[in-house]
A = this chain, B = another copy of it.
Amino acid sequence: VDAAAEAAARDRNGQLTKPPGALGRLEDLAIWYAGWRGNARPALERPQVIVFAGNHGVTARGVSAFPAEVTVQMVANFRAGGAAINQLSKAFGAEMSVHELDLDRPTADFSVGPAMSEAEVVAALATGWAAVNPEADLLVVGEMGIGNTTAAAAIACALFGGQPGEWTGRGTGVDDHGLSIKTQVVAEGLAANPDRDPLEVLRCLGGREIAAMAGAIACAHARRIPVILDGFICSAAAATLALSAEGAIDHCVAGHASAEAAHRALLSKLGKQPLLELGLRLGEGSGAALAIGVLKGAIACHSGMATFAEAGVSDS
């Protein structure tokens, strides 16, 4: 963070034509964004949305309400412009791209051993890193991968402890029977992969699209591109970074709290307060993309408003 830009932004905020604090969290957001961009009066003009897609060997265990073929079908839908994230990216002026990661070669079933080899996880991290547009001034990473709430639950449980049932939810909509299988699979995965080093957790319990999200978020940190986190899966990817290095996700805000049961608990572990709580549970980056509007509004106010002196308004 550029401390001088952040301080200058804070000073500017205090002079704008409004009672102190009257824009609530928008004020903190704008100051945070200014610090990361190194500009006390920044603009938000080039948001980027990247959707990563991966397949999961664990789907063979019956953890999802949808068949694994839906991953590749939805990738085609993203390319054709028909998914929710296409509409949201367009609505908020974001450049959007889709990266599928070896869809014909699902990860290994993590309930019996590591999901990925070291070479595989490194390749996925690198795909994520390379997907970030260096010219972007805001990043949203989303995902598509039938079975990936199971992987995210296993990651969260491995990183933060607790019982598998506390982290396992209904995903796209499994019934009670499906939920009990899913919880059992998470428990087996934790037993089969005992290493709790955060990046080992990512390799053993994650998936290619989850690793790619982590790679993109890490790249954004290096390039000082602020990130809006999406839902449970995105937050699990971010958590592997957060536990790997101090401050690794300070450039991230939580776009929303999803309806996936454990997302709120995960955000709380990450110290992030969601911007939106509208019951979304779609993934694709949809909740984060919706929050681009909030950030745009915050920055528009911060950088566009007149000061008391400029407007000739009494400040008390």
Contact = CB atoms under 8 A, between A and B. Distances in A.
Interface of A: 16-26, 65-67, 69-70, 73-74, 76-77, 80-84, 86-88, 90-92, 172-173, 259, 275-282, 286, 289-290, 293-294, 296-297, 300-301, 304-306, 310-314, 316
A305 B19 contact: no
A81 B306 CA distance: 8
A82 to B, nearest CB: 3
A84 B314 contact: no
Given A18-B83, A87-B300, 7 more contacts: A19-B65, A21-B173, A65-B316, A66-B314, A66-B316, A73-B313, A83-B311
Given A83-B17, A280-B24, A306 B77 contact: yes
A272 to B, nearest CB: 15
B278 A311 contact: no
22 contacts: A16-B84, A17-B74, A17-B82, A18-B282, A19-B172, A19-B173, A19-B282, A20-B173, A22-B282, A24-B279, A24-B280, A26-B280, A67-B314, A69-B314, A80-B306, A81-B306, A90-B300, A90-B304, A91-B293, A91-B296, A293-B293, A293-B297
Given A66-B314, A77-B311, A82-B310, A305 B87 contact: yes
B290 A76 contact: no
B24 A312 contact: no
> Chain copies in the assembly?
2
Contacts of A311: 73-74, 76-77, 80, 82-83
B173 A301 contact: no
Contacts of A289: 297
A23 B17 CA distance: 36
Given A19-B173, A305-B83, A297 B88 contact: yes
A83 B305 CA distance: 5
B293 A296 contact: yes
Nearest first, the 9 closest Cβ-Cβ pairs linking A and B are: A293-B293, A24-B279, A82-B306, A87-B300, A22-B282, A87-B304, A19-B172, A91-B300, A77-B311
A236 B92 CA distance: 32
A314 B73 contact: yes
Contacts of A276: 276, 294
Contacts of A21: 173, 279, 281
